[in-house]
Structure 1
Amino acid sequence: MTQPLTSAERETLLLEMVEQLLIGKTTPGAVLKKLRREVLGMNQTEYAALASISRRTLSDIETDKGSPSLALLNRAFRPFGLTVGLLPRSPALRKRLLKRDQSS
């Protein structure tokens, strides 16, 4: 069994995953799955109860199936202090947005 992450390690992982999402190297479902496992160390049943969604719905989100509503996605990501927002569809524009933010 691995040691729990420190607060700094959790924050670093969270920021890395969000950055990977912004540059198009991962999906929202993959981010949720990784955070659920590595930050909280929970299985799907435990996390679904925490997020007030069904285990099946959580599974669908984590495998990027279906078209969940924004409200549902927000509920799924809320335990990590994340919210779903508007981003450009173009990976190139998302990269520019990220670079712009880093230069501020």
Structure 2
Amino acid sequence: MDMENEMGIAIKVEKDTDFIRQSVQTRLLMGTITLGDAVRRLRTEVSKLSQDDFAKLCKISRRTLGQVELDRGNPTMQTINLILEYFDLAICIRPRYRVSNRPTSPAPGSR
């Protein structure tokens, strides 16, 4: 395979990876996918690694990774960030999307 074909393949893989990451991020924000489902999809579709290999890469146990993917247990933010770091992602705090017309509470001390 020549250099031009290799570069074309690399660019396509990068675009596919970006699409998957953006899709997962959007679905997480909208609440249509769980964190466990997101981790599993990123691991299988982006890294293409087994649970054993990916857990070793993240320096966590396979059992911990399995529990995260099944939305079980109570992983720390550090554990989740160790997993997401591979994908250049991290847990963050953001404003909550309002899904109803109920009024928001005023900030403490704003009355």
**TM-score, normalised by the number of residues in structure 2:** 0.74
1:88–1:68 distance in 2 versus 1, CA, 3 Å: farther
Aligned position for 1:10: 17
Residue of 89, 99, 104 corresponding to 1:82: 89
1:63–1:87 distance in 2 versus 1, CA, 3 Å: farther
How many Å separate the matches in 1 of 2:95 and 2:34?
Answer: 14
Identical pairs, percent: 30
1:52–1:67 distance in 2 versus 1, CA, 3 Å: same
Structure scoring higher RCO (CA < 8 A, sep ≥ 6) equals 1
Q: Report the alpha carbon displacement of residue 65 of structure 1 after superposing the two structures with TM.
A: 0.4
Aligned position for 1:68: 75
Pairwise CA RMSD of aligned residues?
Answer: 2.0
Asked whether 1:92 is paired with 2:96, we answer no
- Deviations 1:77-96, CA, capped at 9 Å, x for gaps: 11000101114455639xxx
Looking at CA atoms only, which structure, 1 or 2, has the larger radius of gyration? 2
Q: Is the 8 A contact 1:44 1:55 kept in 2?
A: yes
Q: Is the 8 A contact 1:22 1:91 kept in 2?
A: no
Q: Which runs of 5+ in 1 are unaligned?
A: 94-104
1:68–1:20 distance in 2 versus 1, CA, 3 Å: same
1:89–1:56 distance in 2 versus 1, CA, 3 Å: farther
Looking at secondary structure, tell me which structure has more helix per residue. Answer: 1
Aligned position for 1:32: 39
1:87–1:9 distance in 2 versus 1, CA, 3 Å: same
**TM-score, normalised by the number of residues in structure 1:** 0.79
Q: Which runs of 5+ in 2 are unaligned?
A: 1-9, 101-111
